[in-house]
Amino acid sequence: MENKIVVITGASAGIGAALSELIGRKGGRPVLAARREPELRQVAARSGAEALPVVADVTRREDVQRVLDAALARFGQVDVWVNNAGRGITRLVSELTDEDLDEMMRVNVKSALYGMQAVLPHFQSRGSGHLINVSSMLGRVPSVPLRSAYNAAKHALNALTANLRMELRERHPGLHVSTVMPGPVATDFGLNALGGGPDSRRIPFAQTAEEVAAVIAELIQHPRAADVYTRPEFHQQVLGYYASEELGAPPRRS
């Protein structure tokens, strides 16, 4: 982790903030991107003297490019890019509007696509780099109907990530493309969901943002092109879901 330049989107709170602070403690140099300037600067102040906050709306392609430009101007390179920005929704499929679906795709998919496409030429020119997309277990097992369009967006993100991994595998073996799959995380994610919703911090057995950040940090230190689950039992739940005779039945708990 020492001296690694790590760009993190959605870094003003939650997983992104915890990851930025952890990277700073481990000797890395985080580049933090988010819309909320006061919160972003507070996180940057806790992330070490080398931390670089960049106020940006990552649903805008030009803002994402500006984040990359700022990182290169300060540090000359980027080693890792973490697409972490995301937002939930509390709407059943039968209730979804065009605007609901557009918002979920814009925040959870297009922002990550912009990040992938912005940093990829830099990684290719260097022959190395690690792209990490933070998805969700709901992108594998869509078991919460109220999160409908969020689930769909994370499924789309998983597919794009897998396809990019395949695209790069032979011609760019020094580039790693990873997906991180958390379950419920004890942050304000639920409260900030489109349409409001239950506080994620009250969900039984929710992981802390620090636990998830530790999994991502370990992945950065030992890069691999893979899907990474933030708890070992999650992988078994996915296998159980897709092996079910009635696809869509609730997954068995280990």
Please identify every residue annotated as catalytic.
150
Alpha helices in the chain (DSSP H): 14-25, 37-45, 61-75, 98-105, 111-126, 148-169, 209-221, 232-243
Would you state the structure tokens that stand for residue 29, as one six-digit string?
């140099």
CA 234 – CA 214 distance, rounded (Å): 17
Q: What is the DSSP letter of 110?
A: I
Angle between helices 14-25 and 37-45 (to 10 degrees): 30
C-beta separation of 129 from 81 below 8 A: yes
Which residues contact residue 117 at a Cβ distance below 8 angstroms, ignoring those fewer than 6 apart?
none
Give residues with Cβ within 8 angstroms of 244, minimum separation 6: 251
